[in-house]
Amino acid sequence: MSEDGAAKTDNAGRGVFEPITPSPAYKLVADAIERQIVSGRVRPGDALGTEAELVKQFGVNRSTVREGIRLLEQGGLIRRDSNRKLYAAVPNYDRFADDVSRAFVLNEITFRELWEATMAIEIAVVELAAERISEEFLGKLDENLNKSRSALNKPSKLALLDIEFHTILAKAADNRVLQFAREPENKLFFPTTEMLFRRNAQAPQRNVSAHEAIVDALRKRDKVNAGIWMRRHINDWKKGFELINKSIDQAIDRTYAED
């Protein structure tokens, strides 16, 4: 909360000069390339020239160019196809899902925080899906239900199918912002859901039954009941959690951060 750095040359206070903040050359290189891509002057898919060419254009050493490239590489603005040439790229938003999830864990987010967000997001997703789901996605949900019914006694597989179910739903809702917002659920709920299936004999059947009721409501375009069942479904998760564990206010296990 406190910002108390840079007290050394800051005393002049008023004046006509902007505070000067020197950036290392490799960062300037990265920023320059980034601007070209974000502004659209370099289109995604365009080859970005070889390192030697960039060296000539920027007038810096190749090592410096390479360090700049590494900065962008991590952010997804640069792609390498076959380990070779560099291409400009538009970062896919869910490339950040892993990083965000990991940051959540390292910042000791609680199950409660994740669960509350899940409740809001999943209900919104299912209500939107009720408005606009296509036959194609209804078919995918049916298929998921079939597989789930055959996996009632396979906790790990069923937990994966649970993730798949909600992922299909989010796609059917046709909203990429919500799709991204729910990514941490996928990454962080899984191990707990699996354990929950393993320890609570009724949990698998309840899970599949809720999914069935949701699909049923979606097929009827019944937004209200879809929402009601989703709420029950998410509530069930919490109840199951409290049944086998101490408190939902504990932080998510740090081991979940290790992929």
Partner DNA sequence: ACCAATTTGTCCGTATGTATG
Partner DNA sequence: TCATACATACGGACAAATTGG
- Alpha-carbon distance 158 to 197, whole Å? 8
Determine the Cα angle at 206 with ends 203 and 210, to 5°.
140
* Interaction partner, residue 11 (DNA, a second copy, none; CB < 5-8 Å by kind): none
Touching a second copy, residues 185-244 (CB under 8 A): none
Q: Is 175 in the site for a second copy (CB under 8 A)?
A: yes
Minimum distance of a second copy from residue 45's CB (angstroms): 13
Assess contact for 112 and 198: CB atoms under 8 A: no
Considering only 74-82, 140-148, 149-157, 243-251, which stretch makes contact with a second copy by CB under 8 A?
Answer: 74-82
Closest CB to a second copy among residues 185, 203: 185
Closest CB to a second copy among residues 132, 199: 132
For 131, 217, 238, the CA distances from 127, given in Å and listed in that order, are 7, 10, 21
Minimum distance of a second copy from residue 205's CB (angstroms): 29
Among residues 32, 52, 103, 243, the one that binds a second copy under rule CB under 8 A = 103
Angle of helix 203-219 relative to helix 155-172, nearest 10 degrees, comes to 20
Minimum distance of DNA from residue 247's CB (angstroms): 42
Among residues 28, 49, 66, 186, the one that binds a second copy under rule CB under 8 A = 66
Other beta carbons less than 10 A from residue 16's beta carbon: 4
Q: Is 9 in the site for a second copy (CB under 8 A)?
A: no
Tokens encoding 54:
């960039």
- Alpha-carbon distance 90 to 45, whole Å? 8
List contacts with DNA (CB under 7 A): 24-26, 50-52, 59-64, 66-67, 80-86
Minimum distance of a second copy from residue 109's CB (angstroms): 6
Residues in contact with a second copy by CB under 8 A are 5, 26, 35, 38-40, 44, 63, 66-68, 70-71, 73-76, 82, 90-93, 95-96, 99-100, 102-104, 106-107, 109, 112-114, 116-117, 119-121, 123-124, 128, 175-178, 180-181, 184, 254, 257-258
